[in-house]
Chain A
Amino acid sequence: MTYLTKTAVILTLLATAACTDTAGGFFGGNSGSDISGAGIGNIDESSLEYFQVSIGSTVLFAVDQSSLSGATIAILNAQAGWLNANSAVTLVIEGHADERGTREYNIALGSKRASSVRDYLVSQGIADSRISVVSYGKERPIAVCSNASCWSQNRRAVTIVNGGMGV
């Protein structure tokens, strides 16, 4: 039942999925306060929900770094396993940065982070052609406070399956 506790992540997925087909739907409305997680029931292991909730779509980075930590690699191994089992799925990797850098540098930094994740997934057997990347720099924070607890959440790469756009 661990997946039922991660309701915020489910909500993020639903919000993202809801706006991927609208022009400029880059801002997932993930500020909702409640969701009926208990109503989801058994999740199909090939579902996008399972990928988001049980595997985890987000990996974090140290300040001004794009290298992958041990915890990050464990998540990416799980992502690769799922992606290998669900070979029809394409993915976009979003790279993000915290607010403690300039806009243009942070786009470049987010690009490095997204690319680090792509390179690792490719090394784990995922076809490069299934993966595209995009960097949002510091323009799409997920946590809004101005201290280390929020900045650490914003230094992230998010694997979006079957959605979004990238290069």
Chain B
Amino acid sequence: MAVLHRITSAVFGLLLAISVSVVPGSAQQPTLTIDVTGGVIEPVPFAIPSFIAENAASSAIANKITRVIAEDLLSTGLFREIAKAAHISGVSNFNAPVQFADWRAINSQALIVGAVNASGNRLTVKFRLFDVFAQAPMGDGVQLSGSLDNWRRIAHKVADAVYSRLTGETGYFDSKIVFVSEAGPKNDRRKRLAIMDHDGAGLAYLTNDDALVLSPRFSPNNREILYTSYETGVPRVYQMNVDTLQRRVFTNLPGMGFAPRFSPDGRKIVMSISERGNTDIYAVDSQSGRRTRLTSGPAIDTSPSFSPDGKQIVFESDRGGSQQLYILSAKGGDAKRISFGNGRYATPVWSPRGDLIAFTKIAGNRFHIGVMRVDGTQERLLTASFIDEAPTWSPNGRVLMFFRVSSGANGAPQIYSIDITGRNLHRISTPNFASDPAWSGLLK
């Protein structure tokens, strides 16, 4: 574990400070806005000339930062990049007036200009965003500083700011995915926990593959991970600090524990405990380990997820004869069924915005990822395949990741991303098979 600690401390840098300050310049009302809710048909063209290197040592990192920003924006499907070869004017000075006519001529609606200064281990990145057709800046220029090791996070923060100004939504690029990395044949699959950036970069392993591990989930402050491990022989819920890799197991809990999630304030953990064949949902105090039973009866009650205000829990139960979604007060009491469609509903996850619940649906021999309103109305299925399972929300509630399993003797899982509009399905690149993604909140 000591070795893992060194690797991950270097890779995560979740706590390392990145300072953000405003670069002088006039702020104006943006006229260019992109509606992410309806599904944009035509991606908005933008140009991002390679960020200016303020000294010779900054040249390579300036290019890398520029590409990460561009790739972040392109991954949304909302934007289209105008290739460098088409650019008429270059940008050689961060403070020089923008030649709007040259960018308008190539139909670049947005222009991102930046500069990079790397000296020693210190990295400073400045950027400005322009609405080319309005010939005006969109918001102030921003300067971000941090250690050079954190260059990728700084690039993600620039992309988040650009995305936010263009869409009016908060971004989601400076975030992490914790997931189960899988390798080996289907009947001897080895699983270990891994963490990576939202785009698959910077992968690091949190456990080795000695024990079966499942269902990692971030704490609200992104510092802790809950997961299920079989290391004692039976499934139990563990909590791991992602910086120190220190772990603890809730040893006082009976039976088998699985399907854990934090409450929004981090003080409680909901999970399933299976005792004598009966699986119910419990709330466990994350400090004392004291447990409160929230469901009872012989049905399978599992996959609980808190509402963002912490007052309610959505979960799945087969108490009515087949797996359906129910909502329960976080204090317990009667549960109200919300799903009524054909098929089986599973793994409900409450949107961070509070408006939607994402779920897995099994119907007609196909698995789907879908969303519905909290009252169960306006169900929409976004995907279909042999097995699509276990959605997780982006920090802004606009994108879902999930895992898709191919069929057959060589069937294996991979992580996919899709917008809640149903557009922009794409695979997240991982070196091995990958499942059970959990998206962090936006990093600080």
Chain A positions within 8 Å of B, measured between CB atoms, are 23-24, 26-27, 29-31, 66, 99-105, 107-109, 111-112, 114-116, 118-119, 133-136, 139-146, 164-167
Q: Which chain A residues border B405 with CB–CB below 8 Å?
A: 99
Task: Give the complex CA separation of A109 and B277 in angstroms.
Answer: 8
Nearest CB to that of A135 among chain B residues?
B256
The stretch from B33-41, B225-233, B333-341, B418-426 touching chain A is B225-233
User: Is residue B389 within 8 Å, beta carbon to beta carbon, of the partner chain?
Assistant: yes
Name which of B214, B215, B276 has the most chain A CB atoms within 10 A of its CB: B276
| B interface with A by C-beta (< 8 Å) | 185-191, 209-212, 214-215, 230-235, 254-256, 258-259, 272, 274, 276-279, 300, 302-303, 316, 323, 344, 346-347, 360, 362, 386-387, 389-390, 405, 407-411, 436
Nearest CB in chain B: distance from A166 CB, A: 6
Instruction: Determine the chain B residues whose CB is within 8 A of the CB of A133 once the complex forms.
Output: 277
B277 and A114 contacting across the interface, CB-CB below 8 Å: yes
Contacts of A24 in B (CB 8 A): 209-212, 230-231
A128 to chain B, nearest CB (A): 10
- In contact, B190 and A27 (Cβ under 8 angstroms): yes
Contacts A115-B277, A166-B234, A167-B234 known; A105 to B187 CB distance under 8 Å? no
Closest to B255 in A: A167
C-alpha gap A143/B187 in the complex (Å) = 7
The reply to whether B277 and A103 form a contact with Cβ atoms under 8 Å apart is: no
Q: Would you call B411 and A105 a contact (CB within 8 A)?
A: no
The residue in A27, A136, A141 that gathers the most chain B C-beta atoms within 10 A of its C-beta is: A27
Contact B187 A142 (CB under 8 A): yes
Most A CB within 10 A of own CB, among B235, B316, B360: B235
Most central of B214, B279, B323 by chain A CB within 10 Å:
B279
Q: Which of A24, A29, A142, A143 has the most CB of B within 10 A?
A: A24
Q: Which residues from A are CB-within-8-Å of B214? A: 103, 139
* B254, closest chain A residue (CB): A167
| Interchain residue pairs with CB less than 8 A apart (20) | A23-B211, A27-B188, A27-B190, A30-B187, A31-B187, A101-B362, A102-B347, A103-B214, A104-B215, A104-B303, A107-B259, A107-B279, A111-B274, A112-B277, A116-B277, A136-B212, A136-B230, A139-B214, A164-B233, A165-B232
